[in-house]
Amino acid sequence: MGTITAILQAAQQRARELGLPYEGALYPREAYEILQSAPGAKMVDVRSRAELDWVGKFPNATAIEWASYPGMSRNPHFIAQLEQQVDKEALVIFVCRSGGRSHHAAIAATQAGYRDCYNMLEGFEGDMDTSKHRNSKGGWRVAGLPWEQS
């Protein structure tokens, strides 16, 4: 895959090309390599507790809901919970189902003073395929990366 520096530079270039207001955008295999190789890098899973329980989860991720099930109302304590669990100097990779909520979490964290925020594109389950099903088109699970079922 490449060195940590090369992966982060590619992610930062993607963010510039896409006009993203945070440090970078990683693909699942890149995120996995960063988590394996970069001391202090943190993965923050922003999916709902229901998703973690029913769909599966990332090993060793910090779970902080961006929105709560049912109703998916936004967690008003997200930044406070993040600050309690993740150092502002850490490289933080935000993840969700498909990359949407984690995008918003990376923006919020950047605005709160986290400098090294990355969104993981494709998320845990990837985008929907032509049959409107996930887990066949992109994502952490399709890439064959480690995950756990509750």
In a domain, 126, yes or no: no
In a domain, 25, yes or no: yes
In a domain, 90, yes or no: yes
Q: How does residue 41 score in pLDDT terms, banded at 50, 70 and 90?
A: very high
CB atoms within 10 A of CB 64: 21
In a domain, 112, yes or no: yes
Q: For the segment 100-128, what is each residue's pLDDT rounded down to a tens digit? A: 999 999 999 999 999 999 999 999 987 76
Q: For the segment 46-77, what is each residue's pLDDT rounded down to a tens digit? A: 999 999 998 999 999 999 999 988 888 899 99
CATH of the domain at 14: 3.40.250.10
Tell if the pTM clears 0.75, that is, is over it. yes
In a domain, 9, yes or no: yes
Q: Taking a C-beta distance cutoff of 8 angstroms, is the pair 78, 28 a contact?
A: no
In a domain, 115, yes or no: yes
In a domain, 89, yes or no: yes
Per the rule left: phi > 0, alpha: psi between -120 and 50, beta: everything else, 93 is: beta
Domain count, the chain: 1
In a domain, 56, yes or no: yes
Share of the chain above pLDDT 70, in %: 95
Q: Quote the domain boundaries for residue 42.
A: 4-120
